[in-house]
Amino acid sequence: MADLFFEDFIVGEVKTFGSYEFTREEILAFAREFDPQPMHLDEAAGAASLLGGLAASGWHTCAVMMRLVCEGFLERSAGMGSPGVTENKWKAPVFPGDVLTLRRTVLESRTSKSRPEMGLVTFRFEMLKPDRSVALDAVCVIMIGRRNPGARLA
Amino acid sequence: MGLPRLGERIEIGRFVFTEALMLRFSRQYDPLPFHVDAEAGRLSPYGALIGSGWHTMAVWMKLFVGAHDAGGFAKDAPEAISPAGIGFSFKDLRWIAPVFADDEIVFSTILDSVRPSAHRPGWAVFRRQALACRPDGAAVMRFELTYLGPEATAIEWRADRPA
């Protein structure tokens, strides 16, 4: 049962959630299925590439970000889906053994006139490497149900 | 090598999102109730189980990579190591309509601009639209992708080559 609603996401709030280890096996499995470029599949090719070593597909990092978003708070939120992603930047490669965490910043929050049962929350999601450098920076919008649908906002 | 075909839509492939494939992706990366549980999907605003939007994106990339052919390049050439290229960013991603089990989706791309790399001969910065539609043309997803890639393997140049 959801215990986090639209009203619980306060603009300016920053929190970090979870951790996820990118294993070599999972990097290879994801790349074989969705991004089979040799730089994501083979050590020598990765080392010769601009990434500087066998590195995860950027789409894999996006998928793991979503996993941490789900585990961190969305599974217990009244989430109703997402209209999209405003912008996503891949800022640094992710290598086997890297453990990443999610940093969430609430950027904007607005109600919907056409759908009073929900609001739209804009988040910045950053995937942080162990040295706190940012591997991925995404601005995502999520539709979240209101605690008291239709109630007038103060 | 010919001129790149800016502004022209190129189909990169079609894909059927079976329930088994949708569930496998969602259980690992997007385990929200309407992505992993048929009953929860029925009770959701979508009315049925729907696929993860990140799965739709990943399949676009799968077909985009598959549309590149590094044949003829040495195994250790940049064109063979990273035939599609290295992503910088994407923007304006819209999940326009849900994908349901067994939906066939048509994937395509439109090259908006290409600018030769100032530092790497033979490489260019590509900006392109990524599109996913139903067979009747109804849009499902779109985004705009920017990346650094080899010019020689770009699908627009290849399409210009004589067979």
Phi, psi for B68 (deg, rounded to 5): -90, 145
- For residues A134-152, give the mean pLDDT: 89
**Percent with pLDDT over 90 in chain A:** 90
- The rounded distance, in Å, linking the Cα atoms of B43 and B37 is 10
Helices (H), A24-154: 24-34, 43-48, 58-72
Q: Does B137 touch chain A if contact means CB atoms closer than 8 Å?
A: no
Q: Which chain A residue has the Cα nearest residue B70?
A: A37
Interval A13-66: pLDDT, tens:
999 999 999 999 999 999 999 999 999 999 999 999 999 999 999 999 999 999
Q: Does B150 touch chain A if contact means CB atoms closer than 8 Å?
A: no
What are the strands, taking DSSP E only, across B4-138? 9-17, 86-95, 103-116, 123-133
pLDDT of residue A47: 96
From chain A, the residues in CB contact with B54 under 8 A are 59, 62-63, 66
pLDDT of residue B162: 46
Task: Place A88 in a pLDDT band, splitting at 50, 70 and 90.
Answer: very high
- For residues A105-118, give the mean pLDDT: 93
The residue type of B113 is: S
pLDDT of residue B163: 41
ipTM associated with this complex: 0.94
- Coil, helix or strand at residue B81: helix
Tell me the average pLDDT of chain A: 95
Tokens of residue A25, six digits:
């096996």
State which residues of chain B have pLDDT below 50: 162-163
pLDDT at A149 over 80: no
Q: Which chain B residue has the Cα nearest residue A89?
A: B89
Which among B110, B139, B107 has a CA at the least distance from the CA of B13?
B107
pLDDT at A4 over 50: yes
Task: Place A1 in a pLDDT band, splitting at 50, 70 and 90.
Answer: confident
Contact yes or no for A124/A139 (Cβ under 8 A): yes
Q: Does B97 touch chain A if contact means CB atoms closer than 8 Å?
A: no
DSSP string, A65-119: HHHHHHHHTGGGBTB----EEEEEEE-S---TT-EEEEEEEEEEEEE-SS-TTEE
pLDDT at A150 over 90: no
